[in-house]
Homo-oligomer: A and B are copies of this chain.
Amino acid sequence: MNYKHNKEKVIQKGVELFWVKGYHSLGVNEICEETGMTKGAFYNTFKSKEKFLLTTIASYGDIIVSHLQAQLSGKKTSAFYSLVTLYKNMLLAQTSNNYMGCLVNNMMSEMGTSYDAVAAMAAKQFKRFLMVIEPAVKEAQEAGDFDNNISSECLAEIIHTTFFGFLTRSKSTKTTNHEAMTSFFNILKNR
């Protein structure tokens, strides 16, 4: 009544909260406390907790897509090196992020088998990530750094899927395995 909520800011806070706590251990009450909304405003705006989650995943996807594009469009170095640097930095970022991983990956894991709409949304965002990565992969293939006997789409999928694997693993070890990540890219690289 005395305050018009900034929907974008609320969504960003939602991203943060779901990212840190996951879906089931985050309550609507806590969302309201953290965002300054009341339940009335929340349900009027977002209809349900699940729909709010879907909105946050989509928003998170936007952020990551922008990040990936920014990191890969620099073009100061080879596409291969850009990719290696990108993934190394994203893995490194986990240490200062309390190993929260990636919201899309987290939601695939927590909700994938039980909430179809969430699974579909996560899959959609994953595909968007691949679409940003793929041109760089293709470029690295054409430059001879990656094998050419495999489609760039498939290779992009392998890379990002493996990255997700490292993210999940780092949650339990509380360390980022850079050695393995580096070795992974060394193996991918044509000798």
Contacts and interface: CB of A to CB of B under 8 A. Distances in A.
A167 to B, nearest CB: 8
Interface string A104-136: 011111101110000110110010000000000
Contact of A147 (B107, B162, B187): B187
B99 A171 contact: no
Contacts of A36: none
Contacts of A144: none
Contacts of A173: 119, 123
A77 B99 CA distance: 40
B157 A180 contact: yes
A155 to B, nearest CB: 7
Contacts of A120: 172
Count identical subunits in the complex: 2
In the complex, which range does the number of interface residues on chain A fall in?
A: 35 or more
A95 interface: no
Contact of A110 (B22, B174, B177, B180): B22
A100 B110 CA distance: 10
B105 A109 contact: yes
A87 interface: no
A184 interface: yes
A109 B177 CA distance: 16
B174 A119 contact: yes
A97 to B, nearest CB: 10
A53 to B, nearest CB: 14
Interface in A143-189: 147, 149-150, 154-155, 157-158, 161-166, 168-169, 171-174, 177, 179-180, 183-184, 186-188
A47 to B, nearest CB: 21
